[in-house]
């Protein structure tokens, strides 16, 4: 055979291989600029800009925010080593991006269009040829595939295990076309957004430097995002600068966004120091989390003079399912009666009225303030789903209303709840000794540590600790430095945390990582919770073909988890508390699902000059 024939044969084989890898060109293949699990996309392919932005917002100026603790890395993906700097993911983009006015819609960012069959067995993303990293090098399909495989090799174990179970392969069809193929037989819900959420890193940089995704480092890889690292002082400050050559500045989805020239993050040792940093003008935008501060600390000359604006815009996001989280990896918490008894010692009424100025509401559901929250008796499709797991759950879940938080009186210790708690402890085998401490049959005390790092939480945790002591629990409250807190929480070295689970208005594959039995050792599951009944109902969520089916399955899950009582529900707030120097402006109406101060607010240079002339800013 001639050399020419050999080359021709090889070329033919290569062409056939490429054709085999290309997506089907059948007429029913869907081609779109975005993806929504249920319903239609709000924005058509030719939309000029997002509805909630000011497309004419000026570019310029700086916004500065506070962070507490320290940092020693810019690799936010090395979750088990080091402490990443605040906003260190801002430099990177994914193929798809969401909006702040739709529950679950994803639009092309790094891609122009996506293609997938009705079966959703695969998805092809057609990448934008103009996409560039901050070092000027092109972003290609090879970078997407490299990033996907890097996450599978060096990402967190929970991410690796889940993604390997649902994404069979990712392949670059050419420089600007990448195809993800999904594992046969697994539910398709959420898989296209999952593939599209892959952060994209520079393959060339990782190969040239030998850097790893699972290591702590101060050197950062170039990203394609609108902001890039400008400068930093380890443990003190970080400045991110808008890339003047950002490749996507003209995209419709980027109009009116990323308006600040620089975003500065100032680090402080604790919340008190951070507040002083704001009142001194070192920090210019503050999102308040303390009811004490919001009620008492802003009666200052700068506010009275109008130099600082206080605002309470609505927040329609799901509130975090916050509360005192029991570490179910500990034997001492295996008895539900113990958890219920300890929960009775938290007094929301006293805490809110006396310590939080009556500003909060008591949380009931893991999906508070939404139609995903279980209410009353189960009925309809929710009841049908619960009946499919009836052999795995207590009968009362089917016959009694959803578990609601206990009620407490105005005084710190509700004696009726104390009596109920003592009875529950006795049922669990814990009885008070002569010294008042609860002991089991072996004479051991119930020794508990509550771990925290935020000083501002001292005053709301202290009454809970005092009440637990009155119950007979040998409890200590240990507030540690942020680095120690991170190390201990990542290794699950705690009894109780004040923490929260972050849920969504439209649930998908992330439910497994937060509540699945397989993920009891996942950092996104601080309680180490798992229930086979919930596992089965998560399958219903993933297999849902309508939003009604998804919502009914989530309500059934909410009902079971509230009964299991692995989080003592505390409080929630339905709006933001923000204070900022009067040189920032925003659209008159914010979108329902984002505050957006680092996204679509902007800087007014004339107002900033007036503040400086008045001596309000340096």
Which residue matches tokens 């979108």?
591
The highest-level CATH class for domain 227-316+574-613 is alpha beta
| Cβ atoms of 313 and 590 closer than 8 Å | yes
User: What confidence score (pLDDT) does residue 27 get?
Assistant: 56
Residue range(s) occupied by CATH 3.10.105.10 in the chain: 321-572
Beta bridge partners of 67: 267
Q: What is the mean pLDDT of residues 264-289?
A: 95
Q: Give kind and range of the element (H or E) at residue 213.
A: none
Which residue matches tokens 């008190």?
272
Instruction: For 130-158, write each residue's pLDDT tens digit.
Output: 999 999 999 999 999 999 999 999 988 87
Structure token pair of residue 318:
């799901």
Radius of gyration of the CA atoms of the chain, in A: 27
Instruction: For 292-334, write each residue's pLDDT tens digit.
Output: 999 999 999 999 999 999 999 999 999 989 999 999 999 999 9
Residue range(s) occupied by CATH 3.40.190.10 in the chain: 227-316+574-613
* Distance from C-alpha of 509 to C-alpha of 163, rounded to nearest angstrom: 10
User: What confidence score (pLDDT) does residue 121 get?
Assistant: 97
**What's the pTM value of the predicted model, to 2 decimals?**
0.85
Q: Do the strands 496-501 and 167-174 form a parallel or antiparallel pair, or are they unpaired?
A: unpaired
Assess whether pLDDT exceeds 90 at residue 18.
no
Assess whether pLDDT exceeds 60 at residue 6.
no
Q: Report the 3 state secondary structure along 355-367.
A: HCCCCCEECCCCC
Give the CATH number of domain 321-572; options: 3.40.50.2300, 1.10.1130.10, 3.10.105.10, 3.40.50.720: 3.10.105.10
* Distance from C-alpha of 326 to C-alpha of 448, rounded to nearest angstrom: 10
Measured in whole angstroms, the distance separating CA 415 from the mean position of its chain's CA atoms is 38
User: What confidence score (pLDDT) does residue 158 get?
Assistant: 76
* Distance from C-alpha of 313 to C-alpha of 584, rounded to nearest angstrom: 15
């Amino acid at each position: 055979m001639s050399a020419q024939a050999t080359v021709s044969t090889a070329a033919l084989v290569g062409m056939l291989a490429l054709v085999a890898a290309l997506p089907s060109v059948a007429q029913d293949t869907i081609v779109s600029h975005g993806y929504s699990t249920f319903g239609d996309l709000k924005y058509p392919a030719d939309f000029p800009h997002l509805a909630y932005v000011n497309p004419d917002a000026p570019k310029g100026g700086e916004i500065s925010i506070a962070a507490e603790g320290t940092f020693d890395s810019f690799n936010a993906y090395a979750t088990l080593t080091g402490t990443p700097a605040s906003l260190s993911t801002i430099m990177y983009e994914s193929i798809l991006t969401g909006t702040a006015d739709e529950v679950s819609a994803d639009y092309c960012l790094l891609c122009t269009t996506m293609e997938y069959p009705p079966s959703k067995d695969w998805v092809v993303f057609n990448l934008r040829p103009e996409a560039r990293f901050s070092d000027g090098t092109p972003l290609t399909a090879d970078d997407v595939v490299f990033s996907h495989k890097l996450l599978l090799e060096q990402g967190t174990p929970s991410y690796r295990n889940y993604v390997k179970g649902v994404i069979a392969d990712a392949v670059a069809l050419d420089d600007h076309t990448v195809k993800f193929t999904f594992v046969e037989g697994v539910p398709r819900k959420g898989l296209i957004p999952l593939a599209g959420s892959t952060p994209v890193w520079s393959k060339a940089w990782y190969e040239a430097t030998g850097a790893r995704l699972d290591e702590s480092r101060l050197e950062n890889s170039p990203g394609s995002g609108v902001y890039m690292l400008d400068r930093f002082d380890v443990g003190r400050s970080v400045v991110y600068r808008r890339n003047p050559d950002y490749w996507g500045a003209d995209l419709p989805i980027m109009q009116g966004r990323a308006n600040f020239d620089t975003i500065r993050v100032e680090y402080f040792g604790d919340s008190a120091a951070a507040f002083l940093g704001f009142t001194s003008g070192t920090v210019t935008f503050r999102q308040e989390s303390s009811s004490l501060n919001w009620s008492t600390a802003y009666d200052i000359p700068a506010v009275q003079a109008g130099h600082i604006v206080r605002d309470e815009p609505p927040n329609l996001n799901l509130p975090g399912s916050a509360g005192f989280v029991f570490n179910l990896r500990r034997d001492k918490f295996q008895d539900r009666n113990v958890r219920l008894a300890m929960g009775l010692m938290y007094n929301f009424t006293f805490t809110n009225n006396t310590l939080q100025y009556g500003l909060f509401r008591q949380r009931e559901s893991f999906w508070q303030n939404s139609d995903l929250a279980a209410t009353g008796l189960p009925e309809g499709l929710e009841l049908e789903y619960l009946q499919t797991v009836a052999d795995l759950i207590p009968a009362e879940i089917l016959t009694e209303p959803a578990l609601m938080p206990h009620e407490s009186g105005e005084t710190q210790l509700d004696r009726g709840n104390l009596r109920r708690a003592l009875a529950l402890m006795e049922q669990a085998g814990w009885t008070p000794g002569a010294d008042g401490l609860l002991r089991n049959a072996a004479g051991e005390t119930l020794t508990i540590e509550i771990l925290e790092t935020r000083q501002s939480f001292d005053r709301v945790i202290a009454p809970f600790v005092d009440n637990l002591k009155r119950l007979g629990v040998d409890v200590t409250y240990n507030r540690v430095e942020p680095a120690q807190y991170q190390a201990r929480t990542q290794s699950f070295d705690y009894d109780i945390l004040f923490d929260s689970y972050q849920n969504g208005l439209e649930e998908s594959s992330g439910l497994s990582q937060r509540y699945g039995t397989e993920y009891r050792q996942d950092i996104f599951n601080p309680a180490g919770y798992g229930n086979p009944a919930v596992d089965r109902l998560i399958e219903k969520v993933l297999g849902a073909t309508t939003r009604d089916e998804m919502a009914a399955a989530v309500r059934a899950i909410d009902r079971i988890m509230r009964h299991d009582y692995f989080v003592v529900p505390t409080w929630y707030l339905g709006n933001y508390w923000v204070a900022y120097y009067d040189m920032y402006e925003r659209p008159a109406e914010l979108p329902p699902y984002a505050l957006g101060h680092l996204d679509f607010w902007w800087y007014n240079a004339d107002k900033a000059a007036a503040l400086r002339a008045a001596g309000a800013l340096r």
